[in-house]
Amino acid sequence: MALTSVSRRTTRRLAADAGLLVVAGAFVLPLAWVVLSALDPHANLRVKAPDGLTFDNFDAILTPEITFTPLLNSLILCGGATLLTVVCAALAAYPLSRFRSRFNRPFLLTILFATSLPITAIMVPVYALFVQVDLIDTMQGTILFFAASQLPFAIWLMKNFMDGVPKELEEAAWTDGASAFQSLLRIVLPLMGPGVSVVTVFSFVMMWGNFFVPFMLLLTPDQMPASVSINDFFGNRGMVAYGQLAAFSIVYSTPVILLYVLIARRLGGGFALGGAVKG
Amino acid sequence: MTATAPHPRLTKTPEDGHPAHGPRRPLRILPLTPAVVLLLLFLAGPIAYCVYIAFTDLQLTGQAEESFVGLDNFTRAFGDEAFLNAVWLTLVFTVVSSLIGQNTLGLALAVLMRRASKPVRTLTGGIVVTAWVLPEVVAGFLLYAFFRREGTLNAILDWLHLPSQNWLFTLPILAVSFANVWRGTAFSMLVYSAALNEIPREITEAAEVDGAGGRRRMWHITLPMIRRSIGTNLMLNTLQTLSVFGLIWVMTRGGPGGRSQTLPLFMYEQAFQNSLIGYGTAVALLLLLVGSLFSLIYLRLLRTEV
């Protein structure tokens, strides 16, 4: 019986391994294309072994116009918006986590509601509104909108992490005369450092890859982040240099993949979606 | 890390009345101000403006000012074949890629990962999550290459002696649907993994001792126990899928001939390529209303957990 049980478990594990490897194979094909094509002097649309490895594709795209300016724009947009998002989220999460109020729950439900609205749908009125108030085609307008669009989920995550910090630690500080702001700054935030990192990286990653927001709100080519410039530069079907497209894709994607690896383990808690509502 | 609910308090404490500790009441909500201002100006404001513009004939060019046209934009939409086509395609896209594709594949992956060996689990998880983390436009280009006539999918089909075709031309809505499955399955996988981890092992083991086979355990124990996660995941997937623009834009531009033009792309076309901001905004408002409905269902599902 024990032997049968062990064998059955082994068989199940092998079957699971096989199933997962099939899925991994299917998912990896497009990824393999981008890596192999980037190193191939004669890349086409199929996954194939390169005709002799080359870095010419990278040489071709690593210019200010194609790569460095768009990446810098992305960094300014995403960095600025992330900073704004994280600061506002940390401030907002504090009373939601620390103080009981009959407004907390409706506010949190509204926040949750906002996290799931189809953001694409409001880009047309955002565009029209930005034209009205002269924020269209400005970095600062795009940063503000980016921050606002990430804020609901950031508040949600931030409150989740903040709930994990024992309240007793702060109550001692309050007794000693510390203000709420001081206890947030000196006790809560340091203790939830990992949580703040998750919110920071997650917000940044979401914005780095966003196409539609800058596509709508920015018009001047010099201001375009990488997400839009890749479409402009490579998106006209007829003359695509696939190797260069693949090389650019790798350069553009590597930062977010690395950042995600940093926070992957801790992000899991954020997916226990019901947790924060219980507060 | 999961936040746990504090036990409901059976008796009043000083904090319920005049707080013996902590800052005074008026100052407590002050830190909420920056977030609320940002949200009101840049999310609530545009939504309110959306409601306004949807009832006007605002255009991009040549117009001194817009005038009120009542329900004209909506009447026009429901009489517009291109709009109805976009609604239908959005439905197909959402059902195929989100409800069927991401949801079932995500659950299958989560279940398999609980049984698989660690190296395979790590490898597969890493690959699936990489597809999710990639910028949307990059994913679009990768999958464009995959589905093109000269692309990898046809190469594989040729190798297997199966019929190949120009997928982006013959079945564009299915091509972009499968692309969205590839891109978004990781989220479902992560949600379901978290949910499955919450099932007490003793329950599954007890059922196993009682002789319940894998399929019966899945149907009678696992699925019922994670039904709330199934609900919330379905709602979030649907809402996310309603928003997809960049992936489709890069792969097909909504073509050929509007045959992969979901509502976000139709909205964009009307507002910016046809200069009909009012009409485009009316479509946007309809999208928002549908999104709001699913969002409320999502909230309802979450609230049953409280």
Sign of the dihedral defined by the CA atoms of residues B2, B190, A260, B252, in that order? negative
Contact B46 A34 (CB under 8 A): no
Contact A211 B245 (CB under 8 A): yes
Partner-chain residue, chosen from A17, A94, A277, that has the shortest CB–CB distance to B305:
A277
Tell me which of B32, B235, B285 to substitute to probe the interface with A (most A C-beta atoms closer than 10 Å): B32
Residues 6+ apart with CB under 8 A from B271: A124, A127, B60, B277, B279, B280, B281, B284
Residue A274 lies inside a defined structural domain of this protein = no
Distance from CA of B197 to the nearest CA of A (A): 10
What pLDDT does B105 receive? Answer: 96
Q: Do A95 and A220 belong to one domain?
A: yes
- The helix/strand/coil state of A54 is coil
Q: Do A262 and A128 belong to one domain?
A: yes
Closest B-chain CA to A118: B243
Sort out which chain B residues have CB atoms less than 8 A from A109's CB and list them: 299, 303
Alpha-carbon Rg for chain A in angstroms: 24
* Positions in chain A short of pLDDT 70: 1-3, 235-239, 265-279
Contact A174 B35 (CB under 8 A): no
Establish, for the pair of chains A and B, how many residue pairs have beta carbons separated by less than 8 Å.
331
Residue A169 lies inside a defined structural domain of this protein = yes
Q: Do A123 and A198 belong to one domain?
A: yes
What pLDDT does A2 receive? Answer: 56
Q: Do A123 and A223 belong to one domain?
A: yes
Partner-chain residue, chosen from B124, B250, B264, that has the shortest CB–CB distance to A24:
B124
Partner-chain residue, chosen from A118, A180, A269, that has the shortest CB–CB distance to B2:
A269
Q: Do A226 and A148 belong to one domain?
A: yes
- The helix/strand/coil state of B56 is strand
Cis amide linkage into residue B256, ω under 30° from 0: yes
Q: Do A224 and A87 belong to one domain?
A: yes
Domain count, chain A: 2
Sort out which chain B residues have CB atoms less than 8 A from A95's CB and list them: 28-29, 31-32
Contact A211 B135 (CB under 8 A): yes
Give me the tens of pLDDT residue by residue for chain B, a chain 306 residues long. 333 334 343 334 444 444 445 555 667 778 899 999 999 999 999 999 999 989 988 887 655 577 888 899 999 999 999 999 999 999 999 999 999 999 999 999 999 998 899 999 999 999 999 999 999 999 999 999 999 888 989 999 999 999 888 999 999 999 999 999 999 999 999 889 888 888 877 777 777 777 767 777 888 888 888 888 898 899 889 999 999 999 999 999 998 999 999 999 999 999 998 888 899 999 999 999 999 999 999 888 887 654
Q: Do A139 and A249 belong to one domain?
A: yes
Residue A136 lies inside a defined structural domain of this protein = yes
Contact A126 B42 (CB under 8 A): yes
What pLDDT does B24 receive? Answer: 56
Q: CA A257 to CA A220: how far, in whole Å?
A: 28
Q: Do A32 and A103 belong to one domain?
A: no
Q: CA B80 to CA B289: how far, in whole Å?
A: 19
Q: CA A243 to CA A231: how far, in whole Å?
A: 15
Q: What CATH number does the domain containing A188 carry?
A: 1.10.3720.10
Q: Do A33 and A117 belong to one domain?
A: no
CATH T-level topology, domain B91-262: MetI-like fold (1.10.3720)
Tell me which of A116, A216, A240 to substitute to probe the interface with B (most B C-beta atoms closer than 10 Å): A116
Contact B135 A155 (CB under 8 A): no
Distance from CA of B182 to the nearest CA of A (A): 7
Written as one string, the DSSP assignment of B239-270 is HHHHT--HHHHHHTTT-STTTT--HHHHHHII
Q: Do A241 and A175 belong to one domain?
A: yes
Residue A1 lies inside a defined structural domain of this protein = no
Residue A273 lies inside a defined structural domain of this protein = no
Tokens 């992969």 identify what position?
B260
Sort out which chain A residues have CB atoms less than 8 A from B242's CB and list them: 118, 120-121
Distance from CA of B201 to the nearest CA of A (A): 15
Partner-chain residue, chosen from B6, B15, B31, that has the shortest CB–CB distance to A95:
B31
Q: Is the Cβ–Cβ distance between B222 and B114 less than 8 Å? A: no
Q: Do A262 and A173 belong to one domain?
A: yes
Partner-chain residue, chosen from A47, A98, A269, that has the shortest CB–CB distance to B152:
A47
Tell me which of B33, B65, B87, B134 to substitute to probe the interface with A (most A C-beta atoms closer than 10 Å): B134
Distance from CA of A28 to the nearest CA of B (A): 6
Q: Do A30 and A89 belong to one domain?
A: no
Q: Which domain holds residue A254?
A: 64-268
Residue A132 lies inside a defined structural domain of this protein = yes
Distance from CA of B89 to the nearest CA of A (A): 16
Closest B-chain CA to A125: B50
